[in-house]
Structure 1
């Protein structure tokens, strides 16, 4: 299971590498913009082509394609896939496409000035190119080429008609769910009902899944756990999650929102707390990304 330590390691790696370039965005100068070609499709790692070594005098940035989702909020969370190369020899320094996306805060403090400027004003779904010079001191003295994909922080699939007798789910402006309890008897078997159906990749049995979730008591609708309340999605191997999540999320698709109704015959883990022992609970899960571990060996 990947927790705060893993996310901190990713954050430090990105920050150390990306925040050490030029401290101004697209500073003026006579040097022509470096020729860097970015190809590929949404949801997959980009192909970056240029003649190395690149001569980079100041930071350049270009939107490869614009996003059509919500605009990023200053100081708010942002979920990123990125591909980072050393522009001296075109070697890959770090990338997330064979692992899990990185959750960051849209601020200069967290991202560094260059990366913050590249992402500010972008929308979910955008792909952005940044080419930056190396710093005169620090851990990154070489020029870098970075491609960033801005991923959604909430399910963006097509709405599915609600099922009678299940708790009704309402969404706040930021996507955080709440439920209205159902007066119907609680199901005695696990229910995994899509509320939205995404068009992305299908979750495999051994995948590392990035998702938002909130858990509620069936009888009262009271929330007992939420990634939304903590301000960031989580990434876990499906093998490390509770049996209900393992069974309920496998073969679902990225972009989907799933209502999981978990009867008391399923173990819940420590997040539910002893007070919910023997009770039916409801999870609302937004699937944001899924990665198969074997992709890393093949990449």
Structure 2
């Protein structure tokens, strides 16, 4: 009995020694690179790190949490971003001096690294993403993403009577019902949600979600909603869109949803467009306003 016990003890000591030896030979994991991100929401972040930066494995750090809806795989996302080369801090790309970019939240649209970094995040978050050098690159990428809303998020505004009614789908797409009356002769501008962002100024580029239908039969003729579609940018207040948009969306606030009833004279009237004789109804979500005199 004693010999057997000693044999078992000896075997255990050998196994323990082997495990300790293997652990001693295993290299310590590389510490995560230190990158400091400062700056206010809506403004280009400032990045501080020692250069050249070494990144061995992808790193995702949430600078601050979002409080909006969780991003949904396959659905649109809207981002402002700054990307730098970690070797010397050179800017690879950024959107803060222009307008934000819309993508589908898929690995195909974003690349697998960015897709994995952003999926599961919430609107309003700021995310730091460090990526090792790709093939053919000499430096890692240091990127910051600000996740912006893809639908209006303002306070509800009671609509007036006699105008089209709007119901919203799960992800914000509007369904528009036309009343059984003659269309109004003048432009109707009815905020449905009033956002808390800055006012839209002439000369800016607004990024919007929108749907347009005919008053005559309620049929849809254009929309940014739907599978594979994305929010779209438009110059506003400079004659690049129909007059009804210029007149109705300037001075609205970012985050608002606005119903426009546009008579032919402020739509496509006087052109050979197939909608020239139509009164048009739009529901527009104003997601961002960039450039223009407010940033001059």
For normalisation by structure 1, the TM-score amounts to 0.83
Alignment: residue pair count: 267
Instruction: Report if aligned partners of 2:63, 2:125 keep a CA contact under 8 Å in 1.
Output: yes
Looking at structure 1, the residues matched to 293 and 265 of structure 2 have their Cα atoms a distance apart, in angstroms, of 33
Q: Aligned runs of 1:152-231 on 2, under 5 Å? A: 152-229=149-226, 231=229
Distance apart, 1:293 and its partner CA: 4.5
What's 2:266 paired with? Answer: 266
What's 2:105 paired with? Answer: 106
Instruction: Report if aligned partners of 2:99, 2:291 keep a CA contact under 8 Å in 1.
Output: no
Looking at structure 1, the residues matched to 261 and 244 of structure 2 have their Cα atoms a distance apart, in angstroms, of 9
Looking at structure 2, the residues matched to 141 and 219 of structure 1 have their Cα atoms a distance apart, in angstroms, of 60
Instruction: Report if aligned partners of 1:198, 1:254 keep a CA contact under 8 Å in 2.
Output: yes
Q: For the structure 1 residues 194 and 294, does the alpha-carbon distance in structure 2 shift closer, same or farther, using more than 3 Å as the test? A: closer
Looking at structure 2, the residues matched to 280 and 268 of structure 1 have their Cα atoms a distance apart, in angstroms, of 9
For structure 1, list consecutive stretches of 5 or more residues without a partner in the other structure.
1-27
What's 2:248 paired with? Answer: 248
Q: For the structure 1 residues 96 and 295, does the alpha-carbon distance in structure 2 shift closer, same or farther, using more than 3 Å as the test? A: farther
Runs of 4+ in structure 1 deviating by more than 4 angstroms, as ranges, are 293-296
What's 1:78 paired with? Answer: 77
1:288 matches 2:290: no
**RMSD (Å), alpha carbons:** 2.3
What's 2:24 paired with? Answer: none
For structure 2, list consecutive stretches of 5 or more residues without a partner in the other structure.
1-26
Instruction: Report if aligned partners of 1:98, 1:295 keep a CA contact under 8 Å in 2.
Output: no
Distance apart, 1:170 and its partner CA: 0.8
For normalisation by structure 2, the TM-score amounts to 0.84
Instruction: Report if aligned partners of 1:34, 1:54 keep a CA contact under 8 Å in 2.
Output: yes
CA displacement, residues 224-271 of structure 1 (integer Å, 9 cap, x when unaligned): 11111352111121232121111111111110001011012123389x
Q: For the structure 1 residues 212 and 38, does the alpha-carbon distance in structure 2 shift closer, same or farther, using more than 3 Å as the test? A: same
Looking at structure 1, the residues matched to 149 and 244 of structure 2 have their Cα atoms a distance apart, in angstroms, of 24
Q: For the structure 1 residues 246 and 170, does the alpha-carbon distance in structure 2 shift closer, same or farther, using more than 3 Å as the test? A: same
What's 2:4 paired with? Answer: none
CA displacement, residues 45-72 of structure 1 (integer Å, 9 cap, x when unaligned): 2122222221222211101112222211
1:147 matches 2:144: yes
Q: Structure with the greater relative contact order (CA < 8 A, sep ≥ 6): 1 or 2?
A: 1
Distance apart, 1:33 and its partner CA: 1.3
Looking at structure 2, the residues matched to 63 and 268 of structure 1 have their Cα atoms a distance apart, in angstroms, of 46
Query: SS at 1:265's partner residue?
Result: helix
Distance apart, 1:273 and its partner CA: 4.9
1:56 matches 2:55: yes
